[in-house]
Amino acid sequence: MIILLSPAKSLDFERPLQTRIATIPEFIQQANKLASELQKYSISQLNELMGISNNLAMLNFGRFQNWYDDVNNPENKQAVRAFIGEAYRGLKAEEMTEEDLLYAQEHLRILSGLYGILRPLDAIQAYRLEMGTKIEIGEFKNLYRFWDNQITNSINNALGNSKTIVNLASNEYFKSINRKKLNANVITPEFKEYKNGVVKMITVYVKNARGQMTNFIIKNRIKDPEQIKTFDINGYQFDVNSSDEGRWVFVR
């Protein structure tokens, strides 16, 4: 079973992880190529390209200008700890044992605009590059075209004998995969809130629940997808009537 997550915009390169193990991203050369391309952009151009504030544009301009090729640089941080968005608050990697993290290394993949795909312990530099960013790289019109088959092939290789992908990534990132070429069934959990007689998705809760379910699968070493339906953290319950083969709905 392979679990897919999106990265986070928020980063923290200070907090330690319960292991010193750090691995090299599979597509480090491609990441360096993209960083080199982004070094050509001015602060105002990054502002426009990424649709971010001037302060964030300045921050990321500095990151790309100071980009280095040394994969063993001590300033690098394992991806699962560097990202601190809502999904990663739910994931709680800081509470995982080294055994949990090594299990996650085999079963969790984080999709990334810059790195393509990351294992939890892959060491990364601070960056910002969303998959939906409209940047041209050579003959590729955007990052979806750039990463397409590379990400898909990597996931197929990681699957091994497994035939299940648990898609807990956002649509923006899952679109980077060529689904027609995936050698697996895809299960996409959805998380909804029941309030005032209406069932709806609330983004912040959805993101956190994605991380919580990832933690649930890793901590319980779940191999049979059916066991995912027992997920009941924070009051969520599997809703069989609203679910279908590929879309599993959890409501609270």
DSSP per residue, 17-78: -S----B--TTHHHHHHHHHHHTT--HHHHHHHHT--HHHHHHHHHHHHT----TT-TT-EE
- pLDDT band at residue 132, thresholds of 50, 70 and 90? very high
Q: Which of 146, 124, 143, 123 is nearest to 132 (CA)?
A: 143
Q: State the pLDDT confidence band at 144, using cuts at 50, 70 and 90.
A: very high
Unique residue bearing structure tokens 């197929």: 156
Mean pLDDT of the 242-246 span: 95
How many Å apart are CA 237 and CA 193, to the nearest integer?
A: 11
pLDDT at residue 150 tops 90: yes
* pLDDT over 90 percentage in the chain: 90
DSSP string, 119-188: -TTBEE------TT----BTTBSSHHHHHHHHHHHHHHHHHTT--EEEE-S-HHHHTTS-GGG-SSEEEE
Give the pLDDT confidence of 75-120 residue by residue, as tens digits.
Answer: 899 999 999 999 999 999 999 999 999 999 999 999 999 999 999 9
Judged against a pLDDT cut of 90, whether residue 170 lies above it is answered with yes
* 164: confidence class by pLDDT, cuts 50, 70, 90: very high
Q: Is the pLDDT of residue 122 over 90?
A: yes
Give residue 70's pLDDT band: very low, low, confident or very high (50, 70, 90).
confident
In DSSP terms, 251 is beta-bridged to 192, 237
Q: What is the pLDDT of residues 46-64, one digit of tens each?
A: 999 999 999 999 999 999 9
Six token digits for residue 85 = 């968005």
Q: Is the per-residue pLDDT at 74 higher than 90?
A: no
Instruction: Give pLDDT tens digits for 8-49.
Output: 999 999 887 888 899 999 999 999 999 999 999 999 999 999
pLDDT by residue (tens digit) across 194-231? 988 889 999 999 999 999 999 999 999 999 999 999 99
> For residue 199, what pLDDT is reported?
92
Of 93, 90, 37, whose CA–CA distance to 208 is shortest? Answer: 90
* d(C-alpha 179, C-alpha 185), whole Å: 10
249 bridge partner residues: 190
The mean predicted confidence, pLDDT, of the chain is 95
Say what the pLDDT of residue 16 is.
79
